[in-house]
Amino acid sequence: MRRFALTVLGLAALAPAALAQGRFPPDSFTNLKVLPKNIEPRALINTMRGFALGLGVRCTYCHVGREGAPLDSLNFASDDKRTKRVARVMLQMVMHVNDEHLAEVPDRPTPHIVVRCATCHRGLPRPRLLDDTLGLVLADSGLDAAARTYRALRERYYGSGAYDFRDLTLVDMAQNEARAGRVDNGIGLLRLGAEFSPASGQIPFLLGELYRQKGDTAQALASYRAALSKDSTLVFARRRIAEISGATSQPPRP
């Protein structure tokens, strides 16, 4: 009967191989603890695709088997990988957020926004934000390592939405470092930012501020001038130049 149907559909040539292999997707699943046990195979596979895309990983990130091997050779039911067990907790969390918490949003606008894996993960297995990631490297291994990390992440993820590569991220970090008394880190982060945003006037202005804080008048002056050359409306830069020039070219007032 089945053969006949396949022949009618013109799929006879595919039939022997398809029948010989373990089927993927299987007709039923043996180890579902969160998803409905009777979930349609299509729906399950779409859910799994959402996991993989949301985290920027392949099936083998959570399932036992060799990367690149045919899907029917993976042991999907096994819970050996920690990541699969974490994913279950995440799945429960997401269901809870959507069903319980968000249901309580007052006057919730429609259509509702549904939280998915990608909402937090943005294509990363560990959804740490860029400033937090760089902050950890900075604290552990210093400025050069943080700059290397920034370059590598930018090279790999720019445009993907995984990280916020706008100036703001480095500028904010630089200001926090300077406020915490680590002015050299601040300067390094701003120089890195200037490299990737050569048109920015704000970054050289802030660099000027940090050099000034350090007492490096020559570098401060050069930075304020650079800022003005990029953006002639930066009145604060003009004022600082006047202050510095005034202080160096005029005799002190009585």
Query: Checking phi first, is residue 122 left (phi over 0); if not, alpha (psi -120 to 50) or beta?
Result: left
Segment 75 to 94, residues that bind ligand HEC, using CB under 6 A: 76-77, 83-84, 86-88, 90-91, 94
Token digits for 104? 């309580």
Minimum Å distance from CB 7 to ligand HEC?
29
Check binding of 117 to ligand HEC (CB under 6 A).
Answer: yes
Helix (H, G, I), strand (E, B) or coil at 156: helix
For 75, phi then psi, to 5°, come to -95, 85
Binding of residue 38 to ligand HEC (CB under 6 A): no
* 89 burial via Cβ count (<10 Å: 0-12, 13-18, 19+): exposed
Interface region with ligand HEC, contact rule CB under 6 A, candidates 45-53, 135-143, 206-214, 237-245:
45-53
Q: Which is nearer to ligand HEC, 71 or 244 (CB)?
A: 71
How near is the Cβ of 122 to ligand HEC at its closest, in Å?
A: 10
Interface with ligand HEC by CB under 6 A: which range of 6-14, 124-132, 193-201, 210-218? Answer: 124-132
Region from 7-15, 52-60, 100-108, 184-192 binding ligand HEC, contact rule CB under 6 A:
52-60
Q: Name the residue type at position 30.
A: T
| DSSP characters over 174-225 | HHHHHHTT-HHHHHHHHHHHHHH-TT-SHHHHHHHHHHHHHT-HHHHHHHHH
What pairs with residue 75 in β-bridges? 64
Q: Which residues bind ligand HEC (CB under 6 A)?
A: 25, 29-35, 44-45, 48-49, 51-52, 55, 57, 59, 61-63, 71, 76-77, 83-84, 86-88, 90-91, 94, 115, 117, 119-121, 125-127
